[in-house]
């Protein structure tokens, strides 16, 4: 269409239309359009209400990073919001972005080394988001490799005891046997023993080390406390990670079975016959 006359522009424009836009074009009185500027003006006026309204730049001040939101998701949400603004100011966006993100290593890096341009800010945020995602995947791999989540040795946090509250989830008292009247909300189970649950202790330890649950943590000088890792060592008698053989107690079919050897390398799993009969099982 470059360099063509207004007549061709108007006729060519009609070919691209459909639905309401085509109906509008057909309803225009003969001779009412003398130039393409008239035609475009008619369309802009008619469909003005359908044009998305741009938001104000001050909306960014309310775009805080959520407590459990990772940096990659927040960065995506920030970019989407920035594209919808009418008067986006790259220079002002830098301190607002820095103020909105949560107190984590990336925030500390921005405070210590403020980016000079908005492009540099996005580049730095992208690199930190990729590193955060890689670290998360590494933690998942280590959980699978060792069989249970682990807290690095020497990093355990003193806590007032095994009971704690994580949001709406309360860690209940130990459950020695299956009790249908009790319910453990974190794992949605009735038979779970909270005090010996390594997964929840690891999750609590992880939250504490990231700066959460401070009101439930006892620091040095506040009294004797047990961190999650200390509880493991006291009850299990071993350091994590490990490859030692484990002999544990299990609740099988509502019956406590002692002396169960955990050995993932065995090709055969053996149960003594007297254990089999005490469980109330038959050859059927």
For the cut 90, the answer to whether the pLDDT of residue 152 exceeds it is no
Contact (Cβ atoms closer than 8 angstroms) between residue 76 and residue 66 = no
Q: b/e for 246-279, b at 16 or more Cβ within 10 A?
A: eeeeeeeeeeebeeeeeeeeeeeeeeeeebeeee
Lowest mean pLDDT among 24-28, 113-117, 219-223: 219-223
Q: Is 183's pLDDT higher than 50?
A: yes
Range of the domain at 78: 57-146
Specify the higher pLDDT residue, 148 or 278: 278
What pLDDT was estimated at residue 91? 92
Residues 135 and 67 in one domain: yes
88 part of a folded domain: yes
Pairing verdict, β 255-262 and 246-252:
antiparallel
133 plus 155 within the same structural domain: no
9 close to 36: Cβ distance less than 8 angstroms: yes
Do residue 142 and residue 61 come from a single domain? yes
Query: Could you tell me if 254 and 199 lie in one domain?
Result: no
User: 0.85 exceeded by the pTM?
Assistant: no
Question: Quick one: average pLDDT of 206-215?
Answer: 75
For residues 206 and 165, membership in a common domain is answered with yes
Map residue 265 onto helix, strand or coil.
Answer: coil
Q: How confident is the model at residue 73 (pLDDT cuts 50, 70, 90)?
A: very high
Per-residue pLDDT reduced to its tens digit, 87-134: 889 999 999 999 999 988 899 899 999 999 999 999 999 999 999 888
Same domain membership, residue 222 and residue 168: yes
pLDDT at 163 over 50: no
Residue 160, Cβ neighbours under 10 Å: how many?
14
Structural domain contains residue 237: no
Q: What pLDDT does 265 receive?
A: 66
Within-domain flag for 1: no
Exposed/middle/buried for residue 102 (C-beta within 10 Å: 0-12, 13-18, 19+):
middle
The pLDDT mean for the chain works out to 76
Question: Considering 146, 173, 189, which residue would you say is the last residue of a domain?
Answer: 146
Backbone angles phi, psi at 125, to 5 degrees: -65, -40
Q: Do residue 79 and residue 134 come from a single domain?
A: yes
Between 191 and 17, where is the model more confident?
17
Instruction: Give whichever of 114-123, 166-175, 205-214 has the largest mean pLDDT.
Output: 114-123
Q: Which residues contact 98 (CB under 8 A, 6 or more apart)?
A: 107, 110, 111, 114
| Region of residue 119 (left: phi > 0; alpha: psi -120 to 50; beta: else) | alpha
185 with 217, same domain: the answer is yes
Q: Of the candidates 146, 161, 184, which is a domain's last residue?
A: 146
How many domains does one find in the chain? 4
Work out the pLDDT band at 173, boundaries 50, 70, 90.
Answer: very low
Q: What is the CATH classification number for the domain harbouring 65?
A: 1.10.1200
Q: Is residue 239 part of a domain?
A: no
Per DSSP, helices labelled H in 57-117 are 71-83, 90-100, 105-112
Residues 23 and 72 in one domain: no
CA 37 to each of CA 4, 5, 235: distance values in angstroms, whole numbers, following the listed order = 14, 12, 82
Please report whether residue 240 resides in a domain. no
> Looking at the structure, do residues 20 and 95 belong to the same domain, yes or no?
no
């Amino acid at each position: 269409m470059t360099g063509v006359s207004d007549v061709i522009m108007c006729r060519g424009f009609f070919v691209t239309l459909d639905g309401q836009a085509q109906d509008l074009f057909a309803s225009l009185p003969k001779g009412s359009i003398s130039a393409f500027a008239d035609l475009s003006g008619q369309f802009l006026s008619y469909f003005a209400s359908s044009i998305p309204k741009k938001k104000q730049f001050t909306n960014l001040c309310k775009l805080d990073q959520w407590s459990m939101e990772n940096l990659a998701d927040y960065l995506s949400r920030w970019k989407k919001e920035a594209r919808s603004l009418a008067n986006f100011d790259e220079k002002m966006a830098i301190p607002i972005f820095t103020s909105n993100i949560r107190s984590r290593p990336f925030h500390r890096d921005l405070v210590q080394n403020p980016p000079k341009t908005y492009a540099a800010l996005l580049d730095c945020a992208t690199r930190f988001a990729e590193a955060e995602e890689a670290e998360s995947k590494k933690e998942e791999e280590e959980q699978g490799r060792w069989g249970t989540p682990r807290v690095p040795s020497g990093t355990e946090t003193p806590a007032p005891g095994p009971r704690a509250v994580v949001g709406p989830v309360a860690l209940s008292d130990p459950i020695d046997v299956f009790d249908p009247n009790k319910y453990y909300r974190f794992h949605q189970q009735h038979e779970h023993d909270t005090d010996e649950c390594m997964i929840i202790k690891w999750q609590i330890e992880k939250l504490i080390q990231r700066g959460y649950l401070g009101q439930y943590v006892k620091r040095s000088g506040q009294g004797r406390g047990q961190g999650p890792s200390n509880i493991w060592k006291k009850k299990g008698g071993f350091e994590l990670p490990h490859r030692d053989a484990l002999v544990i107690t299990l609740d099988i079919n509502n019956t406590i079975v002692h002396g169960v050897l955990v050995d993932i390398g065995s090709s055969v799993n053996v149960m003594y016959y007297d254990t089999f009969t005490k469980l109330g099982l038959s050859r059927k």
